[in-house]
Amino acid sequence: MKADHALRGAVEALLFVSDEPVSVSTVSRLVGARPTEVERALQTLSEEYRDAERGFQLREVAGGWRLYTHPAFHDTIEEYVLSWDTRRLSQAALEALAVVAYHQPVTRQGVNAIRGVNSEAVLSSLVEKGLVREMGRDPGAGNAILYVTTRTFLEKFGLKDLGELPPLEEFAPDPKTESAIKERLSAIEGPPLAEDDEPAEID
């Protein structure tokens, strides 16, 4: 049936771009079909994949439906993932990651401003490694891409959410250094720098 095919394709495309289980109600809303129809399409897809011995399968798990690779190919995928570039993170990458973690969402310009050097290459390598991802754009900054950390990042550090990051204040320079900075700042007449000379916000 033509209509069935269109619905099936839309559901498939949606599952394809998702990296977490999608609920029937979400699918239903996005593809504009009744939940029962969606449910049936999901069942059909799942059977189709199984019958055709595809490399992936559609499973219903907590929270909805999600595409998974077929367990039969576990070893092949394992070998593939193990072959990924194993070079450790450079100091530059660690700095950029730290800035994104604490200032997210942040634009590349924001990262540049804090690090004082161009961070383009280093950010893309973090994206490649799945530690940082793009999330939308900042209309206030010429639609610059905003970067956030990924779920992989949280998992690697065993964090439930970003609120669990240790507060930065704990790691601020000691009070002596801080007061020295303040003194020197106040010794200069007028505002230290015009507002718009500051490329980024520190908070």
Partner 1 sequence: MSYQVATEIFEGPFDLLLHLVSKRKLDVNAISIADVAGEYVEHIERMRELDLDVASDFLLVAATLLEIKAASLLPQPELFLDEEFEDLSPEEARELLVVRLLTYKTFKNVALELGARMESEARMHPRQAGLEERFLKLMPDFLEGITLRGLAVICADLLHRREVFLLQAGHVAAVPISLDLHVDRVAKTLAASGRTTFGELVSAGCSVAEFVVTFLAILELYKRGDVEIAQSTAFGDIELVAVGPRERKEEGS
Sign of CA dihedral 81, 85, 87, 88: negative
Nearest-approach distance from CB 162 to its own copies, in angstroms: 18
**Binding partner at 142 among partner 1, its own copies, none, C-beta below 5 to 8 Å by kind:** none
Whose Cβ is closer to partner 1: residue 1's or residue 196's?
196
Nearer to its own copies, 76 or 177 (CB): 76
Cα 35 to chain center, whole Å?
29
Q: Which of 120, 164, 178, 198 binds its own copies (CB under 8 A)?
A: 120
Helix axes 2-16, 24-31, angle to 10 degrees: 120
Rank residues 92 and 145 by Cβ distance to partner 1 and give the closer one. 92
Rounded Cα–Cα distance for residues 164 and 119 (Å):
26
At residue 102, φ and ψ (nearest 5 deg) are -90, -20
Among its own copies, partner 1, none, the one that 47 touches (CB under a kind-dependent 5 to 8 A) is none
57 near partner 1, judged by CB under 8 A: yes
- We find the least distance from the C-beta atom of residue 103 to its own copies, in angstroms, to be 18
Distance CA 39, CA 16 (A): 17
Which of 23, 25, 43, 69 binds its own copies (CB under 8 A)? It is: 69
Which CB sits closer to partner 1, 41 or 113?
113
Cβ neighbours of residue 66 closer than 8 Å, sequence gap 6 or more? 15, 18, 20, 21, 22, 58, 59
Give the number of other CB atoms < 10 A from CB of residue 197: 8
CA gap 80, 45 in Å, rounded: 27
70 is written with which tokens?
A: 């077929």
By CB under 8 A, name the one of 25, 63, 73, 180 that touches its own copies.
73
* Contacts of partner 1 in 79-138 (CB under 8 A): 81-82, 84-86, 88-89, 91-92, 94-95, 97-99, 101-102, 113-118, 121, 129-131
Instruction: Please give the residue ranges that form the binding site for its own copies (CB under 8 A).
Output: 5, 8-19, 30-31, 53-56, 67, 69-70, 72-73, 76-77, 79-83, 85, 87, 120, 124, 128, 130, 133-136, 143, 145
